[in-house]
Every structure is written in structure tokens, then in C-alpha cells.
Amino acid sequence: MAENVNKKHVDLLPSIWHALRKIKQMQDKAEYFRSTHKLIEAPAYKTIPFILQTQKGDPFFTWGKAGTTSCFATIFFKIVKLEHETGCATLGLLRPNLSVWDDKLDGLRIGKIYEIAFITETDEVVTIDPTGYSAIKCFDPGLVVEEKSEEKDKNSG
């Protein structure tokens, strides 16, 4: 009986939640292949980047590293965790190589999005209620890159 209640609850979740669940399943599958099939030469991407659109049609954004000199705004996310009981989703923030924030406009520079060459994973997360969003757009997983080796070299020496 409890199984039917849980299934019914999941069926009532918004379509954005179901899209996030599908993305999470694909990420988990890729991570499994990366860890168990070390000989695979084709890339198995562990991150599928996406943006969310608010009910007003604007891209959802949030701040990473707030209150520090490394503060950044991002519209790019990856799914980290889904909570079946609450319907909430925990998203990982992906940092764009160029700022999408305009201090003069005090807002997002939508045109700047087309100039982004890559995004990198961070340890920052945000938890959202997917009912507040009307659309989701996935991007090529190749957009996500590891930290640049030159930056690693600078930081280590």
C-alpha cells in the first residue's frame, strides 16, 4: 500500500522534476561506465549541464562563492540529488568561464551567454522546488571541462 502512495506522489510531481530525474539517471549511468569500464575511449560524461526557465520566462540564476572575491553568478547547473518525499532537487552550480552578470545593468547579460566557451564544476549547491520553473534546456556535456592545467600549475607553484 505504501508503495502505491509513493508512486502516486511521484506521479503528481511537475514535469520539470521528471526531466531532472531523467538527467540524473543518465549522469549516474555515465558515472557507472566511467568507473567500471576504464577502457572506454569514448567520453562518458558525468555531468549534463542545463538551465532552468522561471515562470516569467527568465533564466534562473544564483550566486556561487557569495561574500568572497571569487563570487560568481551562474545560470548553469547539474542535478545532484532528487528528494522524492519533498519533490525538491539539489543542483550543483557550474561556473561559466565568462561572467554572465552586468554590474551596470544590475542583472544578467543574456547576450553574454553565447560567448561562453566552457563551464567548470564547483562544490556549490542550491536546493530548489521545481514547481517554480516552466522549462529546462540541456547543453552538450562537452561544455563542462576539468580545471585548466595551466591554472593548476599556477596554483601549485
Backbone angles phi and psi of 138, in degrees to 5: -85, 150
Average pLDDT over residues 126-136: 93
pTM of the model: 0.78
CA dist., res. 153 & res. 58, Å (int): 38
Residue among 42, 52, 48 at smallest CA distance from 27: 48
The pLDDT-based confidence of 44 (bands split at 50, 70, 90) is low
Which is higher by pLDDT, 138 or 114?
138
**Residue 61, C-alpha cell as written in the block:** 540564476
Q: What is the CA radius of gyration of the chain?
A: 17
Please, what is the average pLDDT of the chain? 81
pLDDT of 129 reads 93
Of 53, 68, 44, nearest in space to 123 by CA: 68
Question: Which pLDDT band holds residue 153 (cuts at 50, 70, 90)?
Answer: very low
Nearest to 94 by CA among 11, 39, 25, 23: 23
74 by DSSP, 3-state: which?
strand
> Is 59 in contact with 52 (CB distance < 8 Å)?
yes
User: Is residue 157's pLDDT more than 60?
Assistant: no
| Mean per-residue pLDDT, 92-103 | 91
pLDDT at residue 155, rounded to an integer: 43
